């Protein structure tokens, strides 16, 4: 169980915020599979929502079924961030998170995201201003520091604790590293040793075993996973199975097919046009067929399809074909 203020996140497993990925449809899909304790939205620009940007405001939609859910905001101006916190508070998610880890240049130039790690007084002012507007718990997500010469996650963690932040999440890379190299787990253990508030460890968890190792090696209170959920949306359920002492359930073929088709429906219903729907469907098919026999042939085929209906048919045929294989369990393992 991961305590975040009055929240009890159980299992202590968190969906990492991912811009362009962790939208309403994606979060619901993971919730329906089960095993995830807390889901997070894609980051939301404080500038955009406080200026009424319709596209960003649309991203703030969520359903009760997604709860517990956290909304992540970013920005470099304490006043704007406080105003964004007012909007978040009104929407009544279960928690609000401040992004101090995003290394994208667009965000860094505006001195938000990871750049805040290079300006602790500003980071503190932002945390204080946002906290003052919230009744829901506040969390902060950061990296090790800007680069190897400026590793300051312990100072950041302590600042958060002093300011009444309920929990922190750390992606154990520097901003300079972007996504290269390996996340350094020993740093998560170090942060955990120095803080009294809960610490969520993040970075490179690709399997249930990785998650168990992260808990065991660092003593972290929760594990956050991002990219691996795209290749294996069942990962949270598998970790939860292991945490409960049982074997991890693999996704059966019919479960994969049903999930994929249900996700298609949701994408089609929420996309603005067929082109956008097709783009998302193609990306998603790559995820779901990862590791399945003939998955590559399906991916090639769907790159030529032009309508969601053709798409659905190709996927249904693909799974029918797999089901008729003599030993589907062996096929899955190959």
Ligand X SMILES: Cc1cc2nc3c(=O)[nH]c(=O)nc-3n(C[C@H](O)[C@H](O)[C@H](O)COP(=O)(O)O)c2cc1C
Instruction: For ligand X, give the closer residue by CB, 113 or 322.
Output: 113
Cβ distance 280 to 267 under 8 Å?
Answer: yes
Q: Which stretch binds ligand X (CB under 6 A): 19-27, 83-91, 131-139, 239-247?
A: 19-27
Largest CA distance in the chain: 64
225 binds ligand X per the rule CB under 6 A = yes
Least CB distance from residue 331 to ligand X, whole Å?
28
CB nearer to ligand X: give 203 or 311: 203
- Measured CA to CA, the distance from residue 223 to residue 209 in angstroms comes to 12
Q: Which of 4, 7, 14, 16 binds ligand X (CB under 6 A)?
A: 16
Q: What is the DSSP string of 215-259?
A: HHHH--SEEEE-THHHH-TTHHHHHHHHHTTSPPPPPPHHHHHHH
102 is catalytic: yes
Residue 66 host element (H or E): none
Instruction: Fill in the per-residue mask, 136 to 155: x = in contact with ligand X (CB under 6 A), - = not in contact.
Output: -----x--------------
Q: Is the peptide bond before 68 cis (omega within 30 degrees of 0)?
A: yes
The 8-class DSSP code of residue 51 comes to T
Determine which residue in the list 201, 203, 222, 233 makes contact with ligand X, applying CB under 6 A. 203
Residue 226 touching ligand X (CB under 6 A):
yes
SS3 content of the chain, % helix, strand, coil (to 5): 50, 15, 35
| Interaction between residue 17 and ligand X (CB under 6 A) | yes
Q: Is 271 in the site for ligand X (CB under 6 A)?
A: no
Which of 96, 102, 160, 220 is catalytic? The answer is 102
Identified binder of ligand X from the candidate list 29, 39, 43, 236, rule CB under 6 A: 43
Question: Residue 205, interface with ligand X (CB under 6 A)?
Answer: yes
Binding-site member from 42, 66, 77, 163 for ligand X (CB under 6 A): 42
Residue 214 contacts ligand X per CB under 6 A:
no
Residue nearest to ligand X (CB): 226
State the Cα torsion 293-34-259-270 to the nearest 10°: -130
Choose one: 23-31, 199-207, 211-219, 278-286; the region binding ligand X (CB under 6 A). Answer: 199-207
Which 3 state secondary structure label does DSSP give 192?
helix
- Which two three-digit tokens encode residue 5? 């203020």
Burial of 329 (0-12, 13-18, 19+ CB in 10 A): exposed
Distance CA 30, CA 15 (A): 9
Site stretch for ligand X (CB under 6 A), options 3-11, 156-164, 200-208, 237-245: 200-208
Q: Hey, how many other C-beta atoms are within 10 angstroms of the C-beta on 304?
A: 8
CA angle at residue 160 from 156 to 161, to 5 degrees?
120
CB 218 within 8 A of CB 240: no
Site string for ligand X, 85-124 (x = CB under 6 A): --------------x-xx----------------------
Nearest Cα neighbor of 284 from 58, 66, 29 is 29
- Minimum distance from CB of 169 to ligand X (Å)? 8
Nearer of residues 43 and 311 to ligand X, judged by Cβ: 43
Q: Which of 3, 10, 21, 212 binds ligand X (CB under 6 A)?
A: 21
Residues of this chain that interact with ligand X (CB under 6 A) are: 16-21, 42-43, 72, 99, 101-102, 141, 171, 202-205, 225-228
The set of catalytic residues is: 102
């Amino acid at each position: 169980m991961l305590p975040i203020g009055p929240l009890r996140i159980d299992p202590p497993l968190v969906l990492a915020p991912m811009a362009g990925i962790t939208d309403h449809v994606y979060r619901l899909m993971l919730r329906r599979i089960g095993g995830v304790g807390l889901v997070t939205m894609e980051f939301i620009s404080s500038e955009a929502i406080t200026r009424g940007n319709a596209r960003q405001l649309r991203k703030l939609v969520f359903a009760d079924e997604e709860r517990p859910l956290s909304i992540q905001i970013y920005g470099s101006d304490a006043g704007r961030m406080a105003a964004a916190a007012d909007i978040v508070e009104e929407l009544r998610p279960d928690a609000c998170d401040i992004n101090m880890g995003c290394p994208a240049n667009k965000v860094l130039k505006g001195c938000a995201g990871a750049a805040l790690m290079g300006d602790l007084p500003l980071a503190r002012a932002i945390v204080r201003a946002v906290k003052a507007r919230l009744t829901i718990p506040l969390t902060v997500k950061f990296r090790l520091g800007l680069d190897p010469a400026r590793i300051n996650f312990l100072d950041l963690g302590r600042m958060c604790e002093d300011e009444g932040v309920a929990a922190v999440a750390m992606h154990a890379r520097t901003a300079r590293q972007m996504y290269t190299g390996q996340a350094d787990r020993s740093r998560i253990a170090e942060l955990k040793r120095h803080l009294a508030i809960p610490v969520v460890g993040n970075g490179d968890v690709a399997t249930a075993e990785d998650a168990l190792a992260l808990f065991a090696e660092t003593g972290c209170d929760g594990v956050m996973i991002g990219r691996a959920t795209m290749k294996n949306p069942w990962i949270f359920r598998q970790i939860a199975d292991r945490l409960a002492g049982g074997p991890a359930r693999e996704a059966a073929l019919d479960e994969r097919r049903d999930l994929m088709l249900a996700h298609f429906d949701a994408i089609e219903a929420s996309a603005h046009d067929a082109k956008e729907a097709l783009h998302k469907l193609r990306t998603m098919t790559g995820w779901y067929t990862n590791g399945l026999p003939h998955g590559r042939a399906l991916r090639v085929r769907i790159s030529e399809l032009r309508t969601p209906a053709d798409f659905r048919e190709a996927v249904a045929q693909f799974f029918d074909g797999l089901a008729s294989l003599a030993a589907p369990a062996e096929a899955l393992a190959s």
